[in-house]
A and B are shown apart, each in its own frame.
Chain A
Amino acid sequence: MSRRGGSQSGGVPWPGGLRAWARRHAYSLLSSLGALVRHPVASLMTVVVLAITLSLPTGLYMTLENAERISDGWERLDTISVFLDAELEERDAMQLASKLSARPGIVAVDPISPQAGMAELTGRLRLDDVSEQIETNPLPWVLEVTPESGQNPETLSRRLQEADGVDQVVIDLQWLERLQAILAVLERLAIVLGVLFAVAVAFVIGNTIRMDIQNRREEIRVLSLVGATDGFVRRPFLYSGFWYGLAGGLTAWLLIEIALLALSGPVGRLSGAYASDFALASPPLEIIAVLILGSGILGIVGSWLAVSRHLRGL
C-alpha cells in the first residue's frame, strides 16, 4: 500500500525500496507491541475478555465432540429385534438364527425363547404373578440381531423382513435418533454462537483500537506532519489488533485446557461408574490452530474497521 502511494507521487520512489519497506514494517510491529506493554493492565483486561468470549463457543464445541464420541459407542450396542411367526418351534428358530448369522452385515444373532422373553417382560414390569396367571405364553421366538457398525439399520431390517418365518422387525433406534437430533441442534447452536462471538471479538478489538486511536491523536497528528503515509500511521494499529486477537486466542486455549483438567476427575469417576474408560479429549490441533489464527485475523478485521473509520480526516 505504501509502495503504491510512492509510485503515485509523480515518480518519486520510496527511499530504499523493499528493505526500507521491511524496516518500516519492523518498526510498526515493535511499536505496536510496545504500546501494548506500556499499558499492561488495560491490555490484559481486553485479552481476558477476548479469551472468555472465544472459549465459550469452543468449549461448547468440545462438549459436543465428546458427547458424540460417547454416542458413537452406544450405536454399536443397538440391536434389531426380529419377531418370528408364533407357530415356529425352537428347532425352526435355531435354524433361522444360524442362517441369518451367516449373512453379511450381521455380527451376531441371539435367539430369545418365549419363556425368557416373558421372564424379562414380567421382571421389567414388576408383574411377577402375571406369568402364573397366563396359561399359554403368547410371546413368539425373538432373534436379537446385532448389525455390523456402519450398517444402515433400515436396509438391514427390510431384508430381514423378507426372510421366511419372520413376522415383524423392530428397531429401537428412536432414542438414539433423538439424541443425535439434539446433538445436531446443539452443534448448529455452537456454530451460530461461534459466528456471533467471532463478530463480538472483532468489535471488542475494534473498540479497543478506537480508544487507542483517540488516546494517540497527538502522535498521529505529529506523524502526518513529518510526512508519514496513511499506511504508516495505520499499520501499528492493525498490528495491535492482531496481537490482541492472537493473545485472546492463546488465552482461550489455556482456559479450555484448564477447564478440561478441572472436569477430568469427575468425568473419570462418572464413566467409571458406567464401567466405561471414556475420558475427555483435548481439542485437536486443527481446532486450536483455527482458534488462535482465526482470532488473530478477527483482530485485524476489527482494527481495520476502527482504523478506516477513525483515521480518516486526521
Chain B
Amino acid sequence: MGNNTASAIISFAERLEDRSAAYYRDLAERFPKESEVFLSLAKGCEKTKTLVVQTYRETVSDALETGYSFEGLDLSDYEIEETLLEDVDYGEALKKATALEGRAADFYQDVANRSRSLLATIAVAFNSAAKRRKKHKQKLESLVN
C-alpha cells in the first residue's frame, strides 16, 4: 500500500477518469445505437477530471496540510478493469461499466470522507465526483433494465 499524498490521489483520479472516458468512447463505437448515452458518460468523466484537477491546483495552497496523507486507503482497491474483449456482448459491457462506476464512486466517497476537515475543498469536489459517478451508474442500470 503506497503513501497517498494529495498529489498521488489526484494523479489516480486523473488516470481513473481518462480510462473511464476511453472505455465509454470505445462502447460508443461498438454499440452505435446507444452511442449518445456512452458519449455523454465519457464527457461526464472529462468534466470530473477537470473539476478534480482544478480544485487541487486552484485551492490547495502550500500552507494547508500539503504533507497530508489519506490514511487507510489502498488505491489498488479502486483499480478498474476496462478492457473489452473483441466479442463482448452488450449486456456484458454494461455490467462491466456498472461495476466501474461503483468502484469509482467508492473511491471518491472514501477520499472525501477522509478529508472533511483538512483539505476540505478536496472533500467538496470529491463528493461531487462521487455523486456524478452514482448518476452514471443509475443511467447504466436503466439501460440494463
Decide if A and B are genuine partners: no
Interface set of B (CB-CB < 8 Å, partner A): none
